[in-house]
Every structure is written in structure tokens, then in C-alpha cells.
Amino acid sequence: MRLIKICALIFAMMSSVYALENNSLISIDDISKAEIEQILNAAQFFKTTPQPDLLKGHILASCFFEPSTRTRLSFESAMYRLGGNVIGFTDGDTTSTKKGESLSDMMKGIGSFADVIVMRHPMVGSAHLAASVAGVPVVNGGDGFNQHPTQTLVDLFSIRESQGTLDDLHIAIAGDLKYGRTVHSLCLALSHYRVHLHFISPNFLLLPDVICEELRKSDTSISFHESLEEVIPEIDILYMTRIQKERFVYESVDFENPCLLKLSHLAKAKDNLRILHPLPRMDEIEVNIDNTPYAYYFQQMGNGVPVRMAVLALLLNKIEANNFSF
């Protein structure tokens, strides 16, 4: 009996060890559905419960080689709100990259200055490279058109907050499905849930085959549509995205975007419809929608702080994810 109790205790301790401890968050595939939910639950805790000393004495290196408003400032706010400090840069050209230093050498060095690194870089795979040399946890704040896993955690948190669930939802994802890294991460995360995904995009900015293949493998129900009007009456979430013209390689910038949301499109929307957008917005959501109950993108932006507080606290082993329930 005593042996069974000891075994049960060891199992309980092992199962409370979070998979990201001393590790990095590079792709949303790095974490399981259970781990995603633990992060969302921890974020819910941080949203209502200040913890001003939790990361006292810890340093975040905030390394942004590409422009950012939300990701950088919400990570830095999260670190300060937990009592930690921040070093970093917002332009790679102010670092020794300008003199020809490799990303690998740079991240090896920064790993000795900080306890955790968040990095945004235009090169696909850059965050993975950084994590392989830094010696401290690295969080991918966006690597080219590839992934943006913490934005996805913010998106999932906002869907759950606005709908009360992540299951049995019709979710439309509209805009630049090819170069939108937030779209790629979000699709992979939603494949864990019972959802139907409706995709709308210009025909040369379709969802990459590799993401479609993952959705098919997980039996996620998907459909492709020509216009927003076609799907609005049946959806619970409309996830709008910006056309990422800066990533175009051979595409023409002159085209008709079928993903421009107007107030008149919402006449047939369900009452519970909520519109999300990772932001920044260009012209894809009319500003007169901002004051309707459907608009949720600014609440979503605010959720960046508690979600990133949860990610930082978990990566630095300051909380046990299993202590939080929803």
C-alpha cells in the first residue's frame, strides 16, 4: 500500500512538470492541447491576480529585428508587471549585426546576459536557431511568415473568453492566409478542438498546403469561400488579417481584396459573433465597426499581457501550470 502511495506521488509530481521548463516556445506544435489550456488558465489567473514580485531579479532580452507594437510591448509590460527587468533592441541595425556578427554568435552572447529571450526576426527558422545556442529559454515572437505561437495563445484566450469555449465553433479566417504567420499557428492550435474553419482569401494568398495537410490529418472540418458575406450568418468568430505586402516575392500589389469587412456585412451576423484581428489593421475592418459589440480586437490586444505573463512565468519555472483550472 505504502509503495503504491509513493508511486502515485512520484507520478503526480512528474505529471505536474511542465513540458516547456528550461525549454523554448518556437512553434505552437511544441505544446500539447493540455499544455495550451494550462497556459490559458494561468493567463486567466494573471489577468485578475497581480504578482508584482514573481520574476524579481530576472531579465528578459527583447530582441526585435522587425517592427512590432503589440508583441514587444506586451512582453515587456508582462515582464515589468511580474517584477522583472528588460534589456533589448528594436532595430537589428543598432547591434553588431550591422558589422557582420552572425545571429548564432549574438544569441549565444545574449543568453549570458538574460534569463529568457523573446526574438522577432524576418528569417524562417531564426527562433529555432537562437534556441539551439542561447542556453536560456527563447520565445519566438514571429519568424518570417512561419509562426507566431504567443499570438496564437492570445487568440485562443480571446476566443475562449468571448465564447466561453473553444469547442463547437464556426471560425472564419480571412485575408492573407499565405504569409500570415498568426494564421498558420492558429490553424495548428485549433486542430485540437471541435471547430469548423472557413477560409476566405485572395486566390493567390491561399493557406499553404502544409497547413491544409495538417488540418486534414487531424480531421478538422474546413471549407473555402469566395466572400465574407457567404459565411457571416453562420460564424461565431471572424479572424481578420492584414495583407502582408512586405513579404510578397513575385505577387502583384494591385488586386481586389475580397476580405474587406464593412458594417453592412454584419446585418445578418449572429449575436455572439466576435471579430478578432492580430493587428495592425490597415483597411480590412471599417473603423465604424469598432464601437459595435462584435468588435473584440482591442480586448484581444489587451490579453497579450496576461498571456505573456503566463508564458514567462512558466518558462522560468515560477508557477506550476497544473495549479490553474478554468
Amino acid at 124: V
- All three cell numbers of 132: 539551439
Closest approach of ligand CP to the CB of residue 112, in Å: 26
Annotate each residue in 20-59 with x if it binds ligand CP (CB under 6 A) or - if it does not, as one string. ----------------------------------------
Contacts for 73-78: CB closer than 8 Å, 24+ residues apart: 74/301, 74/304, 74/305, 74/308, 75/118, 75/139, 75/141, 75/150, 75/308, 75/312, 77/305, 77/308, 78/304, 78/305, 78/306, 78/308, 78/309, 78/311, 78/312
**Looking at beta carbons only, is 154 or 266 nearer to ligand CP?**
154
Q: Which member of 58, 72, 148, 196 is catalytic?
A: 148
How many residues in the shown chain lie near ligand CP by CB under 6 A?
A: 10
- All three cell numbers of 28: 505552437
Ramachandran quadrant class, 286 (left: phi over 0; alpha: psi -120 to 50; beta: rest) = beta
Contact 232, 200 (CB under 8 A): no
Binding range to ligand CP, per CB under 6 A, among 51-59, 184-192, 201-209, 273-281: 273-281
Q: Which member of 58, 70, 72, 181 is catalytic?
A: 70
To the query of whether residue 281 is one of the catalytic residues in this protein, the response is no
Closest approach of ligand CP to the CB of residue 64, in Å: 8
Using the rule CB under 6 A, is 185 a contact of ligand CP? Answer: no
Backbone angles phi, psi at 153, to 5 degrees: -65, -40
**Looking at beta carbons only, is 183 or 319 nearer to ligand CP?**
183
- Taking CB under 6 A as the criterion, the residue among 127, 166, 279, 314 binding ligand CP is 279
Kindly identify the residues of this chain, within the stretch 141-170, that bind ligand CP according to CB under 6 A: 142, 148, 151
Backbone angles phi, psi at 43, to 5 degrees: -65, -40
Gap between the Cα atoms of 129 and 304, Å rounded:
25
Gap between the Cα atoms of 137 and 62, Å rounded:
12
Closest approach of ligand CP to the CB of residue 9, in Å: 42
Q: Which member of 2, 5, 99, 217 is catalytic?
A: 99
Closest to 145 (Cα-Cα) out of 186, 190, 182, 119: 182
Contact 18, 321 (CB under 8 A): yes
Closest approach of ligand CP to the CB of residue 110, in Å: 20
- Taking CB under 6 A as the criterion, the residue among 88, 92, 111, 278 binding ligand CP is 278
The CA distances from residue 233 to 221, 267, 270, 285, in Å, are: 18, 9, 6, 17
Gap between the Cα atoms of 204 and 214, Å rounded:
20
- Taking CB under 6 A as the criterion, the residue among 15, 32, 69, 227 binding ligand CP is 69
To the query of whether residue 148 is one of the catalytic residues in this protein, the response is yes
To the query of whether residue 128 is one of the catalytic residues in this protein, the response is no
Kindly identify the residues of this chain, within the stretch 74-133, that bind ligand CP according to CB under 6 A: none
To the query of whether residue 121 is one of the catalytic residues in this protein, the response is no
To the query of whether residue 120 is one of the catalytic residues in this protein, the response is yes
Q: Which member of 58, 71, 178, 242 is catalytic?
A: 71
Closest approach of ligand CP to the CB of residue 148, in Å: 6
Binding range to ligand CP, per CB under 6 A, among 109-117, 246-254, 278-286, 307-315: 278-286
Amino acid at 149: P
- Taking CB under 6 A as the criterion, the residue among 70, 81, 184, 274 binding ligand CP is 70
List, by residue number, the catalytic residues: 70-71, 99, 120, 148
Residues at the contact surface with ligand CP, assessed by CB under 6 A: 68-71, 142, 148, 151, 278-280
